[in-house]
A and B are shown apart, each in its own frame.
Chain A
Amino acid sequence: MSLRPNERNARAWQLALLVAMLGLWHLASRNQQFAFFLGEPIQVAGRIWSWFLPFDVPANALFPDGLKGNADVYRHLGTTLVETVLAFVIGTVLGLACGLWLALAPTASLILDPYIKAANSMPRVILAPIFSLWFGLGIWSKVALAVTLVFFIVFFNVYQGVREVSPVVLANARMLGANRRQLLRTVYLPSATSWVFSSLHTSVGLAFVGAVVGEYLGSARGVGYLILQAEGTFDVNTVFAGIVVLTGFALLLDALVGLVEKRLLKWQPRSGETEKL
Chain B
Amino acid sequence: MPPPPDHALEFLDITCTFRSKDDPSQRYTAVADTTLRIAAGEFVSVVGPTGCGKSTLLNIGAGLLQPSSGEVKVFGHALAGINTRAGYMFQSEALMPWRSTLDNVMVGLQYRGVPDDDARAQAQAWLARVGLSGFGDRYPHQLSGGMRKRTALAQVLALDPDIILMDEPFSALDVQTRQLMENEVLELWAAKRKAVLFITHDLDEAIAMSDRVVVLSAGPGTHPIGEFDIDLPRPRDVAEVRTHPRFVELHTQIWNVLRDEVLKGYAQQLKKAA
Contact = CB atoms under 8 A, between A and B. Distances in A.
Interface of A: 166, 168-169, 171-179, 182, 186-187, 190-191, 193, 267-269
A190 B94 contact: no
B111 A171 contact: no
A172 B88 contact: yes
Judged by DSSP, the binding face of B is loop
A176 B165 CA distance: 12
A190 B98 contact: yes
A186 B97 CA distance: 11
B159 to A, nearest CB: 7
Contact of A176 (B97, B108, B142): B108
A175 B94 CA distance: 11
Interface of B: 62, 64, 82-84, 86-88, 90, 92-100, 107-108, 110-112, 139, 141-142, 155, 159
Contacts of A174: 64, 82
Contact of B88 (A175, A187, A190): A175
B95 A169 contact: yes
A174 B62 CA distance: 10
A269 B84 CA distance: 33
A177 B94 contact: no
B139 A178 contact: no
Given A171-B64, A172-B88, 15 more contacts: A169-B94, A169-B97, A171-B90, A172-B90, A172-B95, A173-B111, A174-B64, A174-B82, A176-B111, A177-B82, A178-B111, A186-B107, A191-B98, A193-B98, A268-B97
B111 A177 contact: yes
Cβ-closest 9 pairs across A and B: A176-B108, A172-B94, A269-B141, A190-B98, A175-B88, A177-B111, A267-B98, A267-B139, A168-B94
A168 B88 CA distance: 11
Contacts of B64: 171, 174-175
A146 B139 CA distance: 37
A163 to B, nearest CB: 16
B136 to A, nearest CB: 14
B66 to A, nearest CB: 14
